[in-house]
Structure 1
Amino acid sequence: MPTAFDFSSSPFDGLDAEEQQLVRDGVDIAYFREGQTILDAGDPATHLFVIIKGRVSQFDAGEMVASYGPRDCFDGRSIVAGRASSRFVAEEEVLAYELAKDTVNALISRNATFGALLFSDLSRKLGALAQRHAEREIHALTGSKVADAFLRPAHIVDGGTSIVAVAGVMHAERTSGVLVRDGARLGIFTNTGLQRAVLDGRSLDGLQVRELATFRLVSIAPDAPLFDALALMIQHQVHRLVVAEGERVVGLLEQLDLLSFLSNHSYLITVQIVQAQDLVALAAQAARIHRFVALLYRGGTRVGQIGQLVQALNAKLFERAWQLVAPPALQAESCLFVMGSEGRGEQLLKTDQDNGLILRDDAQTGDADVAEACARFSAALRDFGYPDCPGGIMVSNPAWRRRASDFSTVVRHWLLRPAPEGLMALAIFIDAHAVAGDASLLAQVRATADALVAADDALLARFATAIDSFPEESGGWWNRLLSIGEQDKHTLDLKKAGIFPIVHGVRSLALREHVRATGTQARIDALVVAGRLSAEFARDLSDSLHFLMGLKLKAGLAELDSTGTVSGVVRGDRLSSLERDLLKDALAVVKRFKAIVRHQFHLDAA
């Protein structure tokens, strides 16, 4: 029997030593010639096949639905069902391991993750993958250093300074504690000391800070493990540590900041955004959002949750930037909104600016002042790392900053005289999400679209046809996945292949049903309630979207680390066998969904 079985590929990479021995004891090697049927629909399932060499095609009702290459396995679902539901044919000469059914069943009963990855549906496979990510998250946190957390500036005052003056420093610097230098001693004075000073009864003008400062500091080095810092806080019952490198004080580590780092960086970033006094400070927080996304993803956080957090953080970022560049009167009489993936809460890495501004019809701010504020806002976002929109969909473009009645007229024009450019603008606007100012202005203009769309089936059909904007290339995406080793053929644009058809198909169905939500997941949930999607298929659709987004994010982060730019494509030769398997499942769901959209809008009738 063969003994060189490869245990590095999914689902075998999760087996323990005893389970690996079961595989060695129950495996054999088989050969199939080109064109030979390995397993036909209805055949008894006696073996699980793991390809060593060659390729195998899977057919359902005469249509090829999947293709398998080296290190891929098939057909676990037939093992469970007892008989094959598809036909598997050797595309070329195939050499494969044959793992006996009894052995497979024994592994499934011993190892739940193995079973989930082998034959379960997309949702369960992703659940098993999430379990692996959770384990990775623990390793990521235990490897973090003190310097990785947010360190507050160390403001030092002289021991002879009055309590009143120290309170002034704390207020001006927005800090709950300052360090106190008293000769050779270094101490700390906090809000607790301030309370004690008030209760002391003496005049605060004459009370020196050295009298109420604590000189028993607990310090830690910036390169120390973060969990050591938490242990020190618990051990000494303190809420902050002095981070020092030799004699040099680097900063203060607050307990709140430490716990926030270990649980959720978003709180700290939000605080810094709200407190930013200029655009330079905001730019620093914009850079932290990107690092936050990378940390969350590599720590195993679900993509949908990342998208929601990024949307909330970016909304705060854009709102604060608008507050810094726009006059107060303009802020009060307008609504700043974002669109596209940002509006849907699905932007993970920074993309082009997509934003607009609606003003009240009676707005008093002059056009020149509005134009200046919008130009400064677009420039600020550019400095934050959001490039200009190539189509000019941004507030610095007069076409995307209008009074409410004027904006409603433009929306009517998009709807009543639908041209490709107008339908594209409508699709972008439908995803609009208010981030600053009077949100009722956006709701007012959006109501115009809802009212006009209600009785226009032809318009909705034209709108929905965009799901086929990126037709499959010759040979289909199955072959693209398997054309590994050829520079031009082993890349796949996930946005075109899967993300856009899901997003726009759901957007089209949601527009017809007058769904107000802008997020794709929220729209899917609403469509289930409306009876337009089954709960089971909706789950597959959501899982597919989030998996594709996660795969795109993973590829983008890798590109940023290596080249500093994001191409938006994934390379098949860099996907694990499990990722390729899940990608096939996800794109199959996309194919089914496009058929549903075509049927509901009668797109195949023309």
Structure 2
Amino acid sequence: MSLRDQKAFLSNIHPFEVLDEKQMDKCINHMDIAYYPKDSTLINPENIPNYFFIIIKGIVHEYKDEELVMDYHHEDSFDANSLIYGESKSTFKVYEDLICYELEKKIFLELIEENSEFKNFFLNNLVNKIQTLKNKEYTSELSSFMISRVEDTLIHEACIVEKNTKLTDAIAKSIEYKTSTIIVKKDNEYGIITDSLLKMKVLLEGRDLNIFVEDIAIFPLLTVHNDDYLFEALTLLIKKGIKRVGVTNSSNELIGILEQLDVLSHFANHTYVVDTQIKKAKTIEELKLASSDLINIIRTLNAKGVKVNHISNLIGQLNTKVYKKLYQLIVPPELQKNACFIVMGSEGRNEQIVKTDQDNALVIKDGIEVEQYRPYMQKMTETLINFGYPRCEGNIMVSNPFWCKNVKDYQNETARWIEAPDMQNYMDLAIFFDSFAVAGDKDLLINLKDNLFNKLHDKDVFMAYFAKATLTFDTPTTVASFMTKTHNIDIKKVGIFPIVQGIRSLALREKIRETTTVKRIKILQDKKILENDMANELIEAFDVLCTLRLKAQLEQILNKQKINNEVDTHSLGKIERDLLKDSLKIVIAFKKFIVYTFKIDKIS
């Protein structure tokens, strides 16, 4: 490659186009072409290179803790940090024979010092760093799809029948397998019968259901290997215009069916795959495996810029299905119908995205012995902990007898919360009011809330004290007050909780059954309790605050830190700091509104 070609090549790669002519010449004069065969290790924590790599041809994979996190192709460069800081947390291996430029480390570091734009790209300022991290997560997700194998996605158990099986018997077996696809084995090959084939070849032609399956099956069944690239399977499905293919192992034995919808879902964000796995889970271990991928869905959706409200709703729905299936797997059928398993607090509001704790309870019909539920509820708590839902520090869990009792006992409890209020009772009531029925007899919870609403009639003083909790934590009023030396703020205390509690207080007073904060705001807006401007501002502020918290929590998970609600304000760019400042102004204004609405200044 000539010097002119080298210059043209580099000029198309950001940020090399910002180098002036002298710097570009210096770069080219100290750059060689190198070749590395497949499986070569270029960089790892024990081996820091003396070169900056720019790929001409080939593929390099980046691994962290043996997990593939990124792949690099034509015109990509990687791990400037290893040269700048002298260390790397990743291992970079050649996946496909590599031809690349090697720029000497000494020259690379000199260029960084000589050109500020060049330097800023590799030493991101805080604003750019956030966007870069978002793009990196998104690219990583796409890369993981492109190198995913068939075995990495959902493979359905195949309903296989032998030739000479009567069609009516095959249909009965397919119903048992909960599938609409019948696989027919004839000698050493497989065929397929689908619903559409049954309609065309049996119903429309008026054929007898006692015919043999091989009379209508389509042979051969198209298949892919379990270690094929998923992208290749998708290409086959699209090319042939079919909805499913068989999956075989290294011995060419059929091990399952791959559906087009599952492949497309994997390409998107795995949501449908997880949903299907939850539905089809027959054991606790299968359910645990299904729920383990929720964090990847969260990362993907967040990286793609999906609003946090939509993410929380989706994850809340999937969590609900996990709880429901777990309840069905643990509690005997005869006991399930006489109780209602509920989630409360942030889970009840569909606002717990990352697994931070579990708030749940069981409401049991009057006249049914509570003690028979205790061992199953203990197992529920222990299993959820094993699934990654941390134990609630306040012990608001179904294994706690306080949160596992008959309807009448809950009615007595809510009466006590109202008639003899203290801070703990206020919070217990708040948590319970946010409850959502997940499994069992949902009417038990509906009737309990009716009973609660009736008790609150003409309880203005109680409601004032209940709403006063909105003011529990101070909300900073200026940038300087939260950009302190410690620079960590508990974003839940200063912003999220005041909105949640204030809106919850209004919803309780107005007897609104909806539990989600944003939906409560919209209902209060429709009822003219909140002016349009305030409602819209609260929704936007709530979204900003929850987004900043989610971003911080994903970073904590990535760094294997304990999950909390703290946001490092020094890591925020100017735009995010401005958004945070404006959101906190809205929170302060809302607090004043709550004080005025509930006449909190009139109580001690």
TM-score (norm 1): 0.68
The CA deviation at 1:520 is: 0.7
Partners of 1:208 and 1:408 lie apart in 2 by 60
Kept in 2, the 8 Å contact 1:154–1:178? The answer is: no
1:550 to 542, 547, 556: 547
Partners of 1:161 and 1:137 lie apart in 2 by 51
**5 Å matches for 1:108-123?**
none
Say whether residues 1:443 and 2:440 are aligned partners: no
1:411 to 407, 411, 414: 414
Say whether residues 1:514 and 2:514 are aligned partners: no
1:349 to 351, 354, 365: 354
1:428 to 415, 427, 431: 431
1:452 to 450, 455, 459: 455
1:537 to 534, 538, 550: 534
1:401 to 401, 404, 425: 404
Residue in 1 that maps onto 2:85: none
**5 Å matches for 1:163-182?**
170-177=174-181
Q: 1:166 to 1:316 in 2, by over 3 A?
A: same
Higher relative contact order (CA 8 A, sep 6+): 1
Kept in 2, the 8 Å contact 1:345–1:519? The answer is: yes
Residue in 2 that maps onto 1:289: 294
Partners of 2:135 and 2:517 lie apart in 1 by 25
Residue in 2 that maps onto 1:324: 329
Q: Residue 395 of structure 1 aligns to a residue in which SS?
A: coil
Give 2:499's aligned amino acid: I
The CA deviation at 1:452 is: 2.7
Partners of 1:547 and 1:416 lie apart in 2 by 37
Partners of 1:435 and 1:202 lie apart in 2 by 45
Say whether residues 1:495 and 2:506 are aligned partners: no
Kept in 1, the 8 Å contact 2:470–2:497? The answer is: yes
Percentage of identical aligned residues:
33
Residue in 2 that maps onto 1:580: 577
The CA deviation at 1:447 is: 2.2
Kept in 1, the 8 Å contact 2:158–2:255? The answer is: no
Partners of 1:480 and 1:246 lie apart in 2 by 63
Kept in 2, the 8 Å contact 1:159–1:210? The answer is: no
Partners of 2:369 and 2:577 lie apart in 1 by 56
Residue in 2 that maps onto 1:57: none
- Deviation per residue, 1:415-441 (Å, 9 max, x gap): 011011111101111111111222222
Residue in 2 that maps onto 1:234: 238
The CA deviation at 1:522 is: 1.6
The CA deviation at 1:332 is: 1.7
Residue in 1 that maps onto 2:259: 254
Give 1:348's aligned amino acid: I
Partners of 2:562 and 2:192 lie apart in 1 by 45
The CA deviation at 1:234 is: 2.6
RMSD over aligned Cα, in angstroms? 3.6
Q: Residue 293 of structure 2 aligns to a residue in which SS?
A: helix
Residue in 2 that maps onto 1:37: none
Partners of 1:208 and 1:508 lie apart in 2 by 63
Give 2:516's aligned amino acid: G
Q: 1:193 to 1:370 in 2, by over 3 A?
A: same
Give 1:587's aligned amino acid: L
Kept in 2, the 8 Å contact 1:220–1:241? The answer is: no
Residue in 2 that maps onto 1:589: 586
Residue in 1 that maps onto 2:345: 340
Residue in 1 that maps onto 2:596: 599
1:524 to 505, 521, 526: 521
Q: 1:537 to 1:400 in 2, by over 3 A?
A: same
Partners of 1:388 and 1:140 lie apart in 2 by 30
Q: 1:564 to 1:603 in 2, by over 3 A?
A: same
The CA deviation at 1:231 is: 4.2
Q: Residue 144 of structure 1 aligns to a residue in which SS?
A: helix
**Which deviates the most, 179-188 or 493-502?**
179-188
Partners of 1:195 and 1:512 lie apart in 2 by 56
Question: Runs of 5+ in structure 1 lacking a partner?
Answer: 1-16, 18-128
Partners of 1:156 and 1:367 lie apart in 2 by 42
Question: Runs of 5+ in structure 2 lacking a partner?
Answer: 1-16, 18-129
Give 2:375's aligned amino acid: E
The CA deviation at 1:152 is: 1.3
Q: Residue 604 of structure 1 aligns to a residue in which SS?
A: helix
Say whether residues 1:144 and 2:145 are aligned partners: yes
The CA deviation at 1:491 is: 1.6
Partners of 2:536 and 2:545 lie apart in 1 by 14
Partners of 1:142 and 1:176 lie apart in 2 by 33
TM-score (norm 2): 0.69
Kept in 2, the 8 Å contact 1:156–1:181? The answer is: no
Q: 1:192 to 1:472 in 2, by over 3 A?
A: closer
Q: Residue 357 of structure 1 aligns to a residue in which SS?
A: strand
The CA deviation at 1:186 is: 5.9
**Which deviates the most, 517-526 or 573-582?**
573-582
Partners of 2:216 and 2:517 lie apart in 1 by 59
Kept in 2, the 8 Å contact 1:460–1:508? The answer is: yes
The CA deviation at 1:172 is: 4.5
Residue in 2 that maps onto 1:65: none
Partners of 2:561 and 2:248 lie apart in 1 by 33
Partners of 2:200 and 2:166 lie apart in 1 by 11
- Deviation per residue, 1:448-471 (Å, 9 max, x gap): 322232312221121112122222
- Deviation per residue, 1:98-142 (Å, 9 max, x gap): xxxxxxxxxxxxxxxxxxxxxxxxxxxxxxx99x98999799558
Partners of 1:206 and 1:455 lie apart in 2 by 73
1:308 to 290, 310, 313: 313
The CA deviation at 1:259 is: 3.5
1:275 to 262, 280, 296: 280
Q: Residue 357 of structure 2 aligns to a residue in which SS?
A: coil
**Which deviates the most, 145-154 or 293-302?**
145-154
Q: 1:282 to 1:604 in 2, by over 3 A?
A: same
Kept in 1, the 8 Å contact 2:344–2:432? The answer is: yes
Partners of 1:496 and 1:536 lie apart in 2 by 24
**Which deviates the most, 339-348 or 239-248?**
239-248
Kept in 1, the 8 Å contact 2:159–2:177? The answer is: no
Q: 1:140 to 1:375 in 2, by over 3 A?
A: closer
Aligned residues: 470
